[in-house]
């Protein structure tokens, strides 16, 4: 399926956003919006969103954040700051939803992986009445040593292997995607990044999923969400790494479908 594009105004400049709709003909079905990981894009999700939407009887929206996929790359000298995920949650996502006329009577479910999970949490912490619920996979709510160690290894791989070529299959500008993500995560002030207190304002249903073999974070991440968000459900998956939807897709699909089914608010 070929992607569509929409343009938003972000911080005074037009930004093109790559989008892909799944089963838009299901007009009265729940809408799941997929938020990718730190090096993800529309293409990198592959066919998982379609599989989940089919199982859940849902519509889907997959998009690439600015700097990723076929969306507008970072400007040459653009350096992301410690608040880069807050900007995505509080500025980019609302602008995208306005551009696509999502919201009001069409409150979506957010399905976020890694950085996309953190962005989902930040969006719901400020706009909890605009979402039906969240499914977050391997989200970050604070920075752990194991995360930084593996991101340092990713930098070495990008500089010394064919990783740029591999990422080029999924991004028009692999350097834009990689260095935007890598530099901020390894920026020393980012070690103090922490969104735990912001979780207190989330009032929608949340399902948090993590693999026991996740190399980018420990169970303290999703257990920290459960400590702050009333009624948060946890799913800890064995023999699973940082990408549960790739390592254990059937488990994730069954859990997500059940979660949406029992928490869905029927339209009035």
- The residue ranges of DSSP E strands in 173-239, in sequence order, are 206-211, 233-237
Encode pLDDT of 176-221 as tens digits.
Answer: 999 999 999 999 999 999 999 999 999 999 999 999 999 999 999 9
pLDDT category at 268 given cuts 50, 70, 90 is very low
Q: Domain residue spans in the chain? A: 4-263
pLDDT reported for residue 228: 97
Has residue 1 got a pLDDT over 60? no
Check whether domain 4-263 has CATH 3.40.50.1820, yes or no: yes
Whether the full predicted model's pTM is greater than 0.85, yes or no, is yes
| 101-118 per-position pLDDT tens digit | 997 678 999 999 999 999
Percent above pLDDT 90 for the chain: 90
Cα–Cα nearest to 15, from 85, 67, 77: 67
Neighbour count for residue 7 (Cβ, 10 Å): 12
Q: What is the DSSP letter of 89?
A: I
Q: Give DSSP secondary structure letters for 59-82.
A: EEEEEPPTTSTTSPPPPTT----T
Specify the length of the chain in residues.
268
């Amino acid at each position: 399926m070929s992607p569509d594009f929409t343009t938003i105004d972000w911080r005074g400049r037009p930004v093109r956003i790559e989008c892909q709709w799944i089963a838009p003909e299901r007009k009265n079905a729940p809408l799941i919006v997929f938020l990718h990981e730190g090096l993800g894009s529309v293409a990198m999700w592959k066919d998982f969103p379609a599989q989940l939407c089919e199982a859940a009887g849902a519509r889907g929206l997959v998009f690439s954040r600015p700097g990723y996929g076929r969306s507008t790359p970072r400007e040459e000298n653009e350096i992301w700051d410690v608040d880069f995920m807050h900007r995505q949650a509080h500025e980019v996502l609302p602008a995208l939803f306005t551009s696509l006329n999502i919201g009001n009577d069409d409150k979506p479910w957010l399905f976020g992986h890694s950085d996309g999970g953190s962005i989902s949490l930040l969006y719901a912490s400020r706009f909890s009445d605009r979402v039906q619920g969240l499914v977050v996979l391997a989200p970050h709510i604070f920075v752990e040593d194991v995360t930084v160690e593996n991101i340092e290894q990713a930098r070495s791989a990008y500089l010394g292997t064919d990783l740029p070529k591999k990422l080029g299959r999924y991004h028009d500008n692999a350097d834009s995607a990689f260095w935007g993500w890598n530099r901020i995560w390894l920026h020393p002030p980012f070690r103090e990044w922490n969104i735990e207190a912001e979780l207190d304002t989330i009032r929608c249903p949340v399902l948090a999923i993590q693999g026991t073999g996740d190399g980018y974070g420990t169970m303290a991440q999703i257990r920290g969400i459960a400590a702050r968000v009333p009624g948060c459900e946890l799913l800890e998956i064995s023999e699973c790494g940082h990408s549960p939807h790739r390592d254990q897709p059937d488990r994730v699909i069954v859990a997500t479908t059940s979660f949406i089914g029992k928490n869905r608010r029927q339209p009035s």
